[in-house]
A and B are shown apart, each in its own frame.
Chain A
């Protein structure tokens, strides 16, 4: 186990606590850079989605993980970013301009959502953000002169400095990766500055934050604006990746997927956003695989246990019918959230830390190390 001896304030501030991190993240970055030459085009496409979901995950972590303001409206922010890009494209605005414009517009709308949210906490805030998302969805469907209504909008191929960047080209992947890395670095910078600490202070005790001179309202709005702006950037990439956008893509289910990203990844660290994004992007092909192959496998097992051909066929068709039920995906997502909240509240990244610590301390690891109890009652009446 490595002990860090801090001899300078710089040791507290720097992004990588020791050289080991530089090596491991360097290797990771190198692997990600050569990925287009090693992976199949299907996996590359999935990797682009991982990047986009991770960007939204980081955005949501800023708001929910670090500022403590839950949001089920991030699909709407993504939609605003995507539609801004698609709309400006029709006027032949160059990519860098509409990319920044989408972030800016989404950020401003995020701040506007933040204002009414100032007086709401917990479940009420969740309801407010859901209603915001529903309003946006409805506007997208009805404002036909701009959004083309339910028919959706076609997104032209991205062109960067006059060079066309198709959505399945390595360049597009590098672009998404670059945005993700910049987002993560920017967020880490924020978290080690006064603003990031003010966010955490608001999450843990608004009363104390206020009495330490934090303008709680201002910082909540800032948090909403930053989170929305980042999601807006992700929306532009999302639009280009799909090359076609329509209102029914940005539903409540997408917002829930974003919440799953951070809940499953872990809400206390930016690693969580990336791990959760990998999880959510990979679970879809896995569910499809189950849906296609599961009935056959179960029927095979039943046959092996001596079921007649007819019975096995019946089992196969009923499992297949169950697997293609409407809303099954939503139910599975729900079960996943419940199981993670109950049994792995620190998420995948928390699990990784536990495994790491287990080997570092072997054989002295204690299971209670990560147990945190809230022992002392806070003065709720001061809220």
Chain B
């Protein structure tokens, strides 16, 4: 069975079929990109997986467990982390505490223990911080460690969002347009990091992306969507040459 799979996933807003009977599977350790014109339903699929939206029909499986009915906060607990297209960071907190929220699914301490800050809480905090520090090092975020998010430039925020997702030590990470708003240099960095995610950390990546050069560089497989339906699925080269995909993009 596949590592992660969506079966006949649909999301309808009234008569509008944002996602229409989409089925796909992600294998363990691969990088799968979802491409498609604006409004094709790419981000909607992510919001369905992380349960911001409830699917109209269809089922989602992760590690052979049906997660369609799980509450949103349990999705992260199962090991699925995500980033957002329009950056959803905790603005008035430091980079460090943003990343520590990423560790939330690993926190085991009880409220009363925290009120007294018992040695067990202190020990846990140190473990969290050690993990966070590894991520900071991995993504070169040392200069921003104690800065407030609200004072940081866009490109850095984008990386911090990736870092926060990584801090939860996910098995599957959903990247919603990791390169949007980044310049060429930053996009290059991002592509190396996405590669490293797979090769060094062994994380499976599901990614929505518009930048085809990034898609070509990092993806193992690509899915093309249009009007909520799957047009093509396969290697990056195959998908780009598929007549339906060409038609969707060029309007032929």
Contacts and interface: CB of A to CB of B under 8 A. Distances in A.
Contacts of A209: 90, 101
B88 A214 contact: no
B104 A208 contact: no
Contacts of B93: 197, 200-201, 204
B125 A214 contact: no
A207 B101 contact: no
Most buried by B among A209, A373, A374: A209
A250 B9 CA distance: 54
Contacts of B168: 212-213
Nearest to A380: B86
Interface string B134-150: 00000000000000101
B212 interface: no
Give the size range of A's interface with the partner: 35 or more
B88 A378 contact: yes
Interface string A229-265: 0000000000000000000000000000000000000
A382 B150 contact: no
B92 A9 contact: no
B89 A205 contact: yes
A212 B81 CA distance: 7
B109 A194 contact: yes
A211 B89 contact: no
B195 interface: no
A193 to B, nearest CB: 4
Interface stretch (A48-56, A184-192, A298-306): A184-192
A37 interface: no
Given A194-B103, A204-B90, A189 B73 contact: no
A379 to B, nearest CB: 4
Given A193-B109, A194-B109, A197-B104, A210 B73 contact: yes
Interface string A12-44: 110000000000000000000000000000000
Interface centre among A198, A208, A226, A375 (most CB of B within 10 A): A208
Interface string B103-147: 111010101001111000110011011100000000000000000
Chain A interface main SS type: helix
B-side interface size class: 35 or more
A126 B85 CA distance: 31
B87 interface: yes
Given A9-B129, A212-B168, A214-B104, A189 B115 contact: yes
Pick the most buried of A186, A194, A211: most chain B CB atoms within 10 A of its CB: A211
Contacts of A12: 96, 129
Please classify the interface of chain B as helix (H, G, I), strand (E, B), loop, or mixed, using the class held by over half of its residues: helix
Nearest to A376: B87
A194 B104 contact: yes
B107 A194 contact: yes
Given A189-B116, A212-B76, A9 B89 contact: no
B8 to A, nearest CB: 24
Contacts of A190: 111, 114-115
Contacts of A226: 111
Interface in A363-381: 372-379
Contacts of B121: 189, 193
A268 B81 CA distance: 29
B90 A210 contact: no
B91 A212 contact: no
A308 interface: no
A216 interface: yes
B77 interface: yes
Contact of A379 (B77, B82, B86, B92): B86
B129 A193 contact: no
B76 A211 contact: yes
A121 interface: no
Given A209-B101, A376-B86, 7 more contacts: A13-B126, A192-B117, A194-B104, A198-B101, A210-B50, A211-B75, A379-B88
Closest 6 CB pairs of A and B: A213-B76, A193-B114, A194-B107, A204-B90, A213-B105, A208-B88
8 contacts: A193-B109, A197-B97, A197-B100, A210-B52, A211-B72, A211-B75, A372-B148, A378-B87
